[in-house]
Structure 1
Amino acid sequence: MQIPLQVTLKDMPQSEAVESRIREKADKLGRFYDKINSCRVVVESPQRHQHQGKLYSVRIDLTVPGAELVANRAQDEDIYVAIRDAFVAITRQLEDFARRQRGEVKTHTAPGA
């Protein structure tokens, strides 16, 4: 299933390779949940004057019926590692959301009840 995808690269030059990797990862999300409304991915490199090297941060906003899932903690010096980590985080959230929608999550009863 083709997911409506919006890719934004901030503070860095456009890169077809980076956008291609993001599209590839986004398409795989459809395997876990087929009712994704939209996916927005923002990749940025905000540090301009750092001696150790650039850190890339990736934020993913995934809209599904009744919720919006966000992964925004992926940071790494390697842009592809940051993208991978962000998609791992959003995939985990999407899997959990899909389980809750299907009613597969156990609910705990209060002790002594």
Structure 2
Amino acid sequence: METPLRLTFHGGETSEALSTLIREHVEELERLYGRLTSCNIVVQVPDRHHRVALYAVNLHIVMPGSIDINIDHIPQNDDRFAIPQFAVTDAFRRAKRAIKERAQKLRGDVKTLRERIERTVDQPEG
């Protein structure tokens, strides 16, 4: 992994398993999209005293050309985010989509409507 990575856990202790999963996702982004300038990740560990404890993962990725990708989805009423691996995977899935969309815009790839075909009713000559 070439990208400088800053990983922070708020509200709880560092998880080596989660750190490894995050590094794997960053390496995958590098393979798919090339070098990243920086990658800052904050994992918000839920307070265990709440009835439903949900994880939130925020990503700030900088790509060459000072292109910023920010993923700051905060889960609401979705019990899947109680699983930290799901929260990490979801954040990186969103990041991949955002990077792909940004790359398409930079290349000028935009959806175009099909050319309109003018149709006329054939009339007999006479």
TM-score category by the smaller chain? 0.7 to 0.9
AA aligned to 1:98 is A
Give the secondary structure class of the aligned counterpart of 1:73: coil
Distance (Å, rounded) in 1 between the aligned partners of 2:74 and 2:25: 15
Give the secondary structure class of the aligned counterpart of 1:59: strand
Over 3 Å counting, the alpha-carbon distance change for 1:100 and 1:93 in structure 2 is: same
Q: Structure 1 residue 71: deviation in Å?
A: 0.8
User: Runs of 4+ in structure 1 displaced over 6 angstroms?
Assistant: none
Distance (Å, rounded) in 1 between the aligned partners of 2:74 and 2:11: 17
Over 3 Å counting, the alpha-carbon distance change for 1:95 and 1:12 in structure 2 is: same
Q: Structure 1 residue 107: deviation in Å?
A: 6.4
Distance (Å, rounded) in 2 between the aligned partners of 1:77 and 1:46: 8
Task: Please identify the structure whose Cα radius of gyration is greater.
Answer: 2
Worse-matched range after superposition: 21-30 or 1-10: 1-10
Q: Structure 1 residue 78: deviation in Å?
A: 0.4
Give CA deviations for 1:57-103 in whole Å, capped at 9, x if unaligned.
00000112232111111531000000000000010000111112222
User: CA-atom RMSD, angstroms?
Assistant: 1.9
**Higher strand proportion, which one?**
1
Q: Structure 1 residue 33: deviation in Å?
A: 1.9
- Structure 1 residues not aligned, in runs of 5+: 109-113
Q: Structure 1 residue 18: deviation in Å?
A: 0.7
**Percent identical across equivalent pairs?**
32
TM-score (norm 1): 0.83
